[in-house]
Chain A
């Protein structure tokens, strides 16, 4: 049963089945009782009818007997009268009454009589026949004038009449006995039958009750248990079980059913678990897939940005260098008009180049691969980087982007992911205010307690249509080409990785608020600084190489080999170095540089890392490490891939890397430092 406890089925009796069973039993009882009553009534009526018929028959027989006796008496009277008066009227009367008496006797023929009664009837008939014969003999004697003999004959007639009378009485007595016996027999039969019917009815009722009870206990209740459990199982309740049954057959059935339900429940739980796992895996897979796609997109964009920045840095470096040189040269012109041109044209050119340089650095910073570890990051710098990427879009849309983040706030995050999250949120805010026609976005940050930093992004856009669905993957109210529905999901994912939280809400008046709660970094010494974005045109700081002083004249001029495939960069470097008092040799490729180094003496090699041809900066460095190790140890390597995102690891320490585009003063300073180091080594 596992974790699911055995739940015995509450005997929710099938009312219909039991009702029908009880109804059937009741009907059976009623029918039995009704049959018994009907039988009793029918029997009583039958008995009554039989007794009535017998009584009627007896009455009829009584009447016949009375008639026979009466007619016989009348015949006797006629006989005596005939002897007295010899009137044929009496003779005819005698014969007519005799015929009538005979007809009455024939009436007995169709009565149901006992043998004794029939014998009596035959006795009556014989007595009457002899009575009549005796009378006829008397009549003959009288007609022949033998009156005395006739009277004697009449005495014989009288004796026959007495015999007849006795026979009639015996008949009636026999019939009375027969009737009494019949009645007694019928009454006894009726009593016995009634008793039998009552006993039978009672037995039927008892049988019905017993049957109903047995049926209910042995069949209906177990079946009801089974049916209830089966129904519950059919409804999906796998905790349904059939209780243990008294009778073996049903107990076996219950056990089998319960075992089956156990297996069903186990299978179902397994299926449900697998289903949940599959759903979670599918959801995770989809999210991961989308994230992967997003990451791939971001990665590709980062690579593209890195490549783009590298490609931009070379011309940008040239422009910056040229503009810087031009400004310096023009500033040193004795002509006011020329100096004015330098101020009005060359200086803005240099400034814009620097601004472009900063933008490229921001792009490179954004495109950098996440570190995968949590680090202390300056929140203001991170916000500035993200804001810098979208500030121009806000400016173009006429929306304000107000940031108020203290530089002292540091958080423990993966800086790249935090930037991605912020850019996503800033983009969402911009889309929202564009829809609603709001003013813009305000980003504020403040410490929350000692461990957290709270960052609020408040916009006055359209707000969330459904706040609860904000973090649902693929949920978006933007147009199909504007959003994937994964932005906030990624933000939530990132914040979770930072052990922080993100919440969203609609503001009371208008717009939405996204609140990030980040763990505050306890140690800010290693805080990663992000390239600050060019906030505004005026904010772009213009570096002035005028601070770089050239080497003194009495110092022998040191010789520097500049290797760069970009002519403008090469020329800018040459000019900067010449201006700084160095002797400069230039090479357009690694191969050219190798030839120079094989034939000439130089103090320092400044080489671009990425160059076309058979030998790039790496190869040149390797060659120098073998052929000219003293040069290799101090060589400076220039690269437009300032972030290193698109290149292999640098082969030299960071202090020997020159990031393009570089400002003239910084460049000269780095070169001078390297040459100082060379000189120091040589002195040692």
Chain B
């Protein structure tokens, strides 16, 4: 009998001690923000700027850890976010319109952009069509009237810059040729400076410092205003959007908690300064709005599907 009491007491004690301490989201474990690109780039800078402010907004004792998962042009990280548990501890930044375009084009993806739990939009990073500061061109008309196809330097046929370029040039009826394979903005910028290409579609934020030094000039700003000025207002929808998402299946409650915290974060002084520093447009939007925007962009890029078809064996 005595033995039974002792055993029961010991077992109960063990059970009590090993029972998990019930901590509530978001304090239970570190929160991971996935960046589908290597350190140093635009998406990386945004997340690393956001992380500490998010932690503060979520309350004391919360750890927010950015994690770079580069590969497959951003698809690897996007897949990781997609497959994570929807418990609110993993979110990430995604490339819109990169993933939108990929879906519209019919690429084989291991994730469905529409199914993400869209959380917030931080900013718009508009593109610009840049050319060498030494060139005689002043506007897009000059680029179109070179008497030969204009050469544009881009990273690769699946990059959003490439897609944006194709859509703009085809809509404006400019003959062009895409020269891909350049490594990042650096490669494209030096290509323009060397004169081996005529122009490149680049984020305005990256180009700004070269415009300041006189090395580059902007032929067209791909913003609603710039597009209207060029006579093609619809093109204003193009551009990179910085949006944060969670895995599909997050509860409405979690989405709301995240969305509120993120909106507060985005509207802080620090984040406004961060966006300004990158010369992007501070354009916050909550969960519902962001999801709607993405769906709209999906439809927008669908209409250009025929322009974006993957190159067939025959050269153009």
Is chain B a partner of chain A in the same complex?
Answer: no
Report A's interface with B, CB cutoff 8 A.
none
Report B's interface with A, CB cutoff 8 A.
none
